[in-house]
Structure 1
Amino acid sequence: MYAQLRQTASMRAATFLQLFLVFSGLAEAFYIPGWSIKSYADKEQIPLLVNKVYSDNTQLQFAYFNLPFVCPPTGQRRIGGLLSGQNIPLNIGEVLRGDRISTSDIDISMGQNNECSYLCTREISRKDLNRAKEMVRDGYVVEWIVDNLPGATSFVTVDKTRKYYAAGFKLGFTDSSSGRPRYFLNNHHTIVLRYRNAPGRAGERGNKVIVGFEVYSKSIGPSNRRLENGCPANLRNIDQNFELYLAPNHTTAEDPERYAHSSYHPNPANEVVDENDGAMLSIPYTYSVYFQEDTSIEWSRRWDLYFVNQEEGSKIHWLAIINSLIICGLLTGIVLMIFAKTIRSDIKGYKDAAAEEGKARRRRNRRAAGAAGASAGSTTPPASEKMPVSSVGVGSGGLLDQDAGGSVDMSALDADILSEEDEALEDVTGWKLLHGDVFRKPAYGSLLAPLIGSGMQLLFMAFGLVFLSAVGVLNPSFRGGFISFGVGLFVFAGVFSGYFSARVYKTFDGQNWRRNTLVTAILFPGLLFSAVFVLNLFVWAQASSTAIPFGTLIGILMLWLCIQMPLVYAGAWYGYVRVGAWEHPTKTSAVPRQIPRQAWYIRDIRSVLLAGLIPFAVIFIELLFVFQSLWQDKSGYYYVFGFLAVVSTILILTIAEVTVVTVYIQLCSENYNWWWQSFMVGGGSAIWVFLYCIWYYFAKLHITGFVSSLLFFSHSFIACCVYALLTGTVGFLSTYAFMRRIYG
C-alpha cells in the first residue's frame, strides 16, 4: 500500500495543466503531493512506519529499530500481511539518502482514540545507556510515517497567526541547569492524526482521509505512579522526567548509596565506571492516539504546513532573483556592446583589410606583369612600338627604372605595393591576428574531450531534475524520487556524454575514438564511484544507515557497466563516425605565433578566480537556502524549485557571458590558448562555492566528530567538482560558438 502510493504519485504527475502552470509562473514554486488518495473506513487499521533518526550536529543517521534502547519489533502480523519489523521495499533514492523504513507495533484504528497503551519495557546496559546519552546530546530527531506523512512537531509562526510543522520529533532533551548536563529520554509519545471526509464516492461511504500527523513526546520518570497495564496514572501531571542515569558501580570520591534516593548525582568526572558490570536500566515505553477532525486542510494541500515557515524567506528568494538579473543584465549589456561596436567594427575592418589586401595583390600582379612585358620589349623593341622613357616614368621616384642594359628595377615596384598593403592592414591587431592559430588543437585535448562529454551528461541530468521538480513530478511525497530520477537521468544521459566527447575529440584530430569512448565512460563515473566507496567504508564502521548496502553498490556498478557504458559507446559512434568533427571557419597555420607577455589579470588562475566571482554572486543567496535544507534542516524539504529554475537559467547565461568576455580580452592580448581557459573560467565559480562551504561549516554548523566532518567536506568537494564540470562545459561550448561567429 505504501509502495503503491509512492508509485502512483510519480506516474500521474506530468499533465498539460502542470506544464501550463510552470511556464506561466515559474518563479512561484508549486508541487503536486500525489494524486492517489488513500481513504480509511472507521476502525480500519492504519500502519505506522518507523524510519530513522538523524541530527543537525552529525552526518550519521541510524535506523530506528537498530537503536539499542528502543522497543524492538515483536514480529507480529500487522495490516496488509506485514510483520512488525519487516522492511518496506525502497527505491534507490531512499536507500542512498539513508532511509530504513519498517513496520511498527503501534496500533492505530481510524477514528478510535486511545488514551494510553503500553508498548514494552526495554532493559539496557551501561554501554547502551551511554549510547543513548550521546544521541540525546547530539539532538537526534526521530522520523515516523503515517499515510506517507512524516510525524511532525507543531509550532506557530512568530506573529502567532499560522501553524507550521517541523518533520520529526526529539529523541530526548538535555538539562544543564544544575551545573552539569543531565540527559532525559522521551518514552511516551502522543500521536495526533487530523482527518476529514474523503472526497467523492469514498466520502459518501463515510471514509476519511488523513491530512495531518503530529507527535508530541514526553519524558516520564520512574517516580510517576503507573497502572497495572504499565501506563502512567496521570499523563498531564508529570512529577519526574526519565533521566538516563545509572549509579556508578565504583567512585573515587563519593559514595553512590548516599545519593540513591536523591535527584542529585555525583560528578561524572569522579566516576570510574565498568560498562560490563551487569547493571541494567529499565525504560518503559507507552503511547497515546487521538483523532481530530480538521476541515480547514484539503488533502491535496496537506504538505503545506511543512513549508509555512519556509515561506517567510520568499522575499529573500525574490531578492536573489533581482540580484541575479541585475548582474546578468550588466553582463548582457557588455556582451552586446562587444558584438555591436567592437567586434562588428573589427570584423568589418578585418574584412575590408582582407579585401584591400586582395586588391593590392591583384594590382601588384598586373604591374609586375606589365613591368615584365616592358622589360622584355626593351631588348628587341620594334621601331614602330618604341616609347619614350618619360612615358613610363624614368628617374628618381618612378615605378620603373631602366638601367643601361634596358632591364627593369623591381625593388621600387615591391616597395610601393608593400606600402599600400601596410596601409590596408595597419588596423589588423589583437584577436584579428590570431585567425591562423585560434583553432589550433590544445594540449591534452584527449582529456578535455571526455570532460566535456561528462559535463554534458551532468547538464542534461541537472536540467531534467530541475524541470521535473518545478512541474511537480518530484515532490516531497515521492520519497527518494529526486535521487532516483537523478541516477536514472545520469545513466541514460550517457548517450549525450559519448556524442559530445567524440565530436570534440575528432575536432581535435583524435584518431583512436574507441579509447576516447572508454575514457569518457570510466573517468568521471569511476572517480565518483571510488570516492563514494571509500567514504562508505568510514560510514560502515559507524554502523550508520547512511552507509550504502553492499547489494546497492553492486546494483549501481551494474547500472554503470551494463547500461551507461553501452550508451556512451552508441553516442560516441554516432558522433565520431556518422556526424564527425565541427568544421572550423579558418585554417590553422603551420607555425604557431609567439604569445606576448600577458597582463596580470588575464593569467590562468587569476582570470579564473576573478571571472568565477561573478557567477558566484548570482547564486550565493539561493545557496544559503540549499545549504540550510541539506545540512541544517534535514527534517525539512527544499521545495522552491521554481526559484531554483529561474536562478539556474540566469546562472547559465551569466557563465556563458562571463566566459565569452574573459576569452575575448585574452584574444585581444594575442593569446590563442582559449580551449582549456574557457573550460576553467566557466567552472571557476566552483572554487568560491567550496570556500563558501568552508565558511558555512565554521559559521553555521555545529557538526562534531571526525567522520561527520569528513563526510561534510568530502560531499562538498564532490558537489563542487560536479558543479565545475557542468559549468565548465557551458563556458566551453558558449565560447566555441562565439569563436565560430567572429572568425566565420
Structure 2
Amino acid sequence: MSSVKHTYEGDWNEKTRLTTCDPHAKRTVTNSETPQEVEDKKEIIFTYDVDFQESDVKWASRWDTYLLMADDQIHWFSIVNSLMIVLFLSGMVAMIMLRTLYRDISKYNQLETQEEAQEETGWKLVHGDVFRPPAYSDLLCVYVGTGVQFFGMTLVMMVFAVLGFLSPSNRGALMTAMLLLWVFMGILAGYSSARLYKMFKGTEWKKITLKTAFTFPATAFAIFFVLNALIWGEKSSGAVPFGTMFALVLLWFGISLPLVFVGSYAGFKKPPIEDPVKTNKIPRQIPEQPWYMTPVFSILIGGILPFGAVFIELFFILTSIWLHQFYYIFGFLFIVFLILIVTCAEITIVLCYFQLCSEDYHWWWRSYLTSGSSALYLFLYATFYFFTKLEITKLVSGALYFGYMLIISYAFFVVTGTIGFYACFWFTRLIYSSVKID
C-alpha cells in the first residue's frame, strides 16, 4: 500500500484515464514520491492493482487450502473408538446367536421329541405373546415410517457427498438436497408404515397415512416457524422470507403428502406379513423384573453406545454449523454412519434377547426407544457444547441454538429408533421361526 497523488486531464467521468497510472500507456507508479495530502473538501482518488500469477493448483483442488484439516489423527481415533464398540457388540451378538441361541433351540426342539412334558423356560415361554400388537401401535407405525424416510434421505445424501456432488463451499445446496430427498422419500415412509400397520391388523390405512405425513413435519415446522418469528422480531437478514416458507409448505403438501399416499396404498395392497408363531388370545402375565431390566434403565443404557460411536464426529459437525467452519470429510462421516447403524442394531438385539429371556414380551416400543434414546445424549451434549464452546449471550440466539438442536435430536431419535426396531424385528422373527412350537 502506498500514498500517491493521482492526476488526470479534463473532467472526471467513467472513461477518465489517470496520467500517473495508465496501463494502456504502460505508465505505472513505482514509488510514492508524490504522496496524497488529505485536506478538507479535497478530491482523493483510490486505486488498486491486481497481479494474476499462474498457479499449478488444479481447478478441482482450489478449495483444498481451506478444507484441509489438521485433525486427521482425532478422526482416526474416532473411527478406531467406534470400531472397538462395534467389535465388542459384535462379539456379544455372536455369542448370543452362535452359542446361547443354538443351545436353546436345540434344547427346545429336543423337548418336543420327548414324551414327557417339561415346562418351557426362557424366551420360548413367551412365544404366544411376542408378536402381540403393542399399545399405541398406530404411533409406532408412524414413527417407523418416518424413520425409514429419514434413513433413505441420509443414506442417499451421504453417497452423493462422498462422491463429491455436494460442495461445502455452497451450504445452501446441501440443505436443498436434504429437503428434496426428504420430500421424495415420502413414498418409503408411506410404504413402511402401511406394511407394519397391516401386520397389526389395522384397517384405516388413510388415517395412518395422514399421521405419517404430518406427525414429524408438523412438529419440526412449528418449531422452525417460531424460531423464524423470533428472527423476524429482531429484524435480522437471516430470517427465512415468506416466499421460501410458502415453497416449503408447497413441497410438503404438493409432493411429500401425495407420495406418502402412493407408498401407503402400495404397502397396504400387499399381503400382510405373517408371524412365525401364533398369538394367544389371552396375554400372559409378565413376572416381576429385576431393576436392571426395567424399561427406563435398559432404554437409557441402550442409548449410550450408539452416542459413544458418533460423539467425536458430532463435535466437528457442531463446529461446522455454529462456528462457521468447513466440513468436508464426508468419507469419515459415511464410515461413522455405517458404524452407527451396526451399533444401534447390535445393542438393541442384545438387550431385546435379555428382555425376552426375562419373559417380558413388550419389545416393540422398547426396541425403538433403546437405540432412539441416543438422541437424548445428543441433546445433552449439545447443551454441554453450548456452555463450553459458544459465547452466546442474547436470549434469541440461545433460543435459536436449542430450537434447531431440538429438531436435529428429534430427527436423530427417529432414525436410530427405526434402525433398532427393524433389527429386533428381524431378530425375533428369526429365533421364533427356528423352534418347533405346536
Task: Mark the CA change 1:321 to 1:224 in structure 2 (over 3 Å): closer, same or farther.
Answer: farther
Query: Could you give the per-residue CA deviations for residues 392-427 of structure 1, whole angstroms, max 9, x where no partner exists?
Result: xxxxxxxxxxxxxxxxxxxxxxxxxxxx213xx4xx
Q: Distance in 2 between matches of 1:551 and 1:444?
A: 38
> What is the TM-score of this pair, normalised by structure 2?
0.88
Following superposition of structure 1 onto structure 2, how do residues 231-246 of structure 1 map, counting pairs within 5 Å? 231=45
Residues 12-60 of structure 1, C-alpha deviation per residue, up to 9 Å, x if partnerless? Answer: xxxxxxxxxxxxxxxxxxxxxxxxxxxxxxxxxxxxxxxxxxxxxxxxx
Deviation for aligned residue 1:227:
9.6
- What value does the CA root-mean-square deviation take over the aligned residues? 2.1
Distance 1:660 1:711 in 2: 37
Matching residue of 2:93: 335
Q: Secondary structure at the match of 2:88?
A: helix
Aligned to 2:315: 624
The alpha-carbon distance between structure 1 residues 708 and 479, as it changes in their structure 2 partners (threshold 3 A), is closer
Q: Which has the larger radius of gyration?
A: 1
- Unaligned 5+ segments in structure 1 are 1-76, 78-108, 116-222, 232-285, 361-419
Q: 2:72 aligns with which of 314, 320, 334?
A: 314
Cα drift, residue 481 of structure 1: 1.4
The amino acid that maps onto 1:296 is D
The AA in structure 1 aligned to 2:237 is: S
Contact residue 452 and residue 500 of structure 1 kept, 8 A = yes
Say whether 1:324 aligns with 2:13: no
CA offset at residue 442 of structure 1?
Answer: 0.1
Identify which of 384, 395, 402 aligns with 1:695.
384
Matching of residues 156-555 of structure 1 within 5 Å: 228-231=42-45, 288-308=48-68, 310=69, 312-356=70-114, 360=115, 420-422=116-118, 425=119, 428-555=120-247
Q: Specify the code of the residue in structure 2 equivalent to 1:644.
A: L
Q: Tell me, in whole angstroms, the C-alpha distance in 2 between the residues paired with 1:611 and 1:600.
A: 15
In structure 2, relative to structure 1, the CA distance for the partners of 1:628 and 1:432 (3 Å cut) is same
- TM-aligned CA deviation for residue 631 of structure 1: 1.1
Q: What CA deviation, in whole Å up to 9, does each residue of 1:522-565 have, x standing for no partner?
A: 11111111111111110111122221111111111111111111
| Aligned mates of 1:332, 1:224 — CA distance in 2 | 76
Query: Which deviations, in whole Å up to 9, do the C-alpha atoms of 1:125-175 show, x marking residues without a partner?
Result: xxxxxxxxxxxxxxxxxxxxxxxxxxxxxxxxxxxxxxxxxxxxxxxxxxx
Distance (whole Å) between structure 1 residues aligned to residue 146 and residue 431 of structure 2: 27
Displacement after TM superposition at 1:616 (Å): 1.2
Query: What amino acid does structure 1 have at the position aligned with 2:414?
Result: L
1:675 and 2:340 aligned? no
Q: Which moved more, 1:291-300 or 1:595-604?
A: 291-300
C-alpha distance in 2 between matches for 1:604 and 1:666: 9
C-alpha separation in 1, matches of 2:130 and 2:272: 16
For residues 547-626 of structure 1, what are the structure 2 equivalents within 5 Å? Answer: 547-577=239-269, 579-626=270-317
Stretches of 4+ moved more than 4 A in 1?
A: 112-115, 223-228
Q: How far did residue 114 of structure 1 move?
A: 11
3-state SS, counterpart of residue 291 of structure 1 = coil
Deviations 1:686-741 (A, max 9, x none): 11111101110111110120000000011111100100000000000110000000
Q: TM-score under structure 1 normalisation? A: 0.52
Kindly provide the amino acid, as one letter, of the partner of residue 570 in structure 1.
V
Question: Which secondary structure state, in structure 1, belongs to the residue aligned with residue 342 of structure 2?
Answer: helix
Paired with 2:300 and 2:230, the residues of 1 have a C-alpha distance of 33
Q: 1:511 to 1:637 in 2, by over 3 A?
A: same
Change (3 A) 1:225 1:731: farther
Structure-2 separation of matches of 1:675 and 1:114: 79
Q: Secondary structure at the match of 1:290?
A: coil
Q: Deviations over 1:367-391 (max 9, x none)?
A: xxxxxxxxxxxxxxxxxxxxxxxxx
Task: Tell me the distance in 1 between the aligned counterparts of 2:332 and 2:359.
Answer: 41
| Aligned position for 2:410 | 721
Mapped partners of 2:28, 2:334: distance in 1: 46
CA deviation vs aligned residue, 1:202-225 (integer Å, no higher than 9, x gap): xxxxxxxxxxxxxxxxxxxxx976
**Counterpart Cα distance in 1 of 2:152 and 2:47:** 48
Whole-angstrom CA distance in 2 between matches of 1:491 and 1:516: 18
Question: Residues 114 and 289 of structure 1 are in contact (CA less than 8 Å); yes or no, is this contact kept in structure 2?
Answer: no
Bigger relative CO (Cα 8 Å, ≥ 6 apart): 2
Query: Residues 426-462 of structure 1: CA distance to partner in whole angstroms, max 9, x if unpaired?
Result: xx31111010000000000011101110010000111
* CA distance 1:517–1:298, change in 2 (3 Å): same
SS of aligned partner of 1:511 = coil
Letter in 2 for 1:352: Q
Asked if the contact 1:682/1:728 (under 8 Å) is kept, the reply is yes
**Residue in 1 aligned with 2:3?**
none
Query: What residue in structure 2 maps to residue 730 of structure 1?
Result: 419
Evaluate the alpha carbon distance shift between residue 295 and residue 607 of structure 1 in structure 2; reply closer, same or farther with a 3 A threshold: same
| SS of residue matched to 1:582 | coil
Higher helix share: 2
Show the 5 A alignment for 1:74-89. none
Q: Report the Cα offset of residue 327 of structure 1.
A: 0.6
Cα offset, 1:296, TM superposition: 3.5
Following TM superposition, by how much is the alpha carbon of 1:298 offset from its aligned partner in structure 2, in angstroms?
2.1
Contact 1:678 1:728 in 2 (8 A): yes
Name the SS for the 2:132 alignment partner: coil
Structure 1 pair 295–332 and aligned structure 2 pair: CA distance change class (3 A): same
The amino acid across from 2:229 in the alignment is L
Match of 1:174 in 2: none
In structure 1, C-alpha distance between the alignment counterparts of 2:355 and 2:90, rounded to whole Å: 19
Measured against aligned partners, the alpha-carbon deviations of 1:600-625 in whole angstroms (never above 9, x if no partner) come to 12212211111111111111111111
**Residues 659 and 481 (structure 1), Cα distance of their counterparts in 2 relative to 1, 3 Å cut:** same
| 1:113–1:291 contact (8 Å) kept in structure 2 | no
Which amino acid in structure 1 is aligned with residue 174 of structure 2?
F
Distance 1:699 1:456 in 2: 34
Partner of 2:352: 663
Cα separation, partners in 2 of 1:113 and 1:681, compared to 1, 3 Å: farther
**SS at 1:564 equivalent:** helix
AA aligned opposite 1:495 = I
Q: What secondary structure sits across from 1:593 in the alignment?
A: coil
Instruction: Quote the offset at 1:289 in angstroms.
Output: 4.7
One-letter code of the match for 2:117?
Answer: E
- C-alpha displacement at 1:476, in angstroms? 2.6
Contact 1:114/1:288 (<8 A) preserved: no
Indicate how the Cα distance of structure 1 residues 708 and 347 shifts in structure 2: closer, same or farther if over 3 A, else same: same
Counterpart of 2:306 in structure 1: which amino acid? P
Task: Supply the AA of the counterpart residue of 1:606.
Answer: F
TM-superposed deviation, 1:226: 8.6
Larger strand share, 1 or 2: 1
Using a 3 Å threshold, how does the CA distance of structure 1 residues 674 and 113 change in structure 2: closer, same or farther? farther
Shift of 1:598: 1.2
- Structure 2 Cα separation of the partners of residues 637 and 228 of structure 1: 45
Say how many residue pairs are matched: 403
- Note if contact 1:454-1:497 (Cα within 8 Å) is conserved in structure 2: yes
CA contact (8 A) 1:113 1:290 kept: no
SS at match of 1:587: coil
Q: Which amino acid is 2:332 matched to? A: F
Q: Is the 8 A contact 1:114 1:290 kept in 2?
A: no
Runs of at least 5 residues in structure 2 that lack an aligned partner in the other structure = 1-13, 15-22, 30-36, 434-438
What one-letter code is carried by the residue in structure 2 that aligns with 1:340?
Answer: L
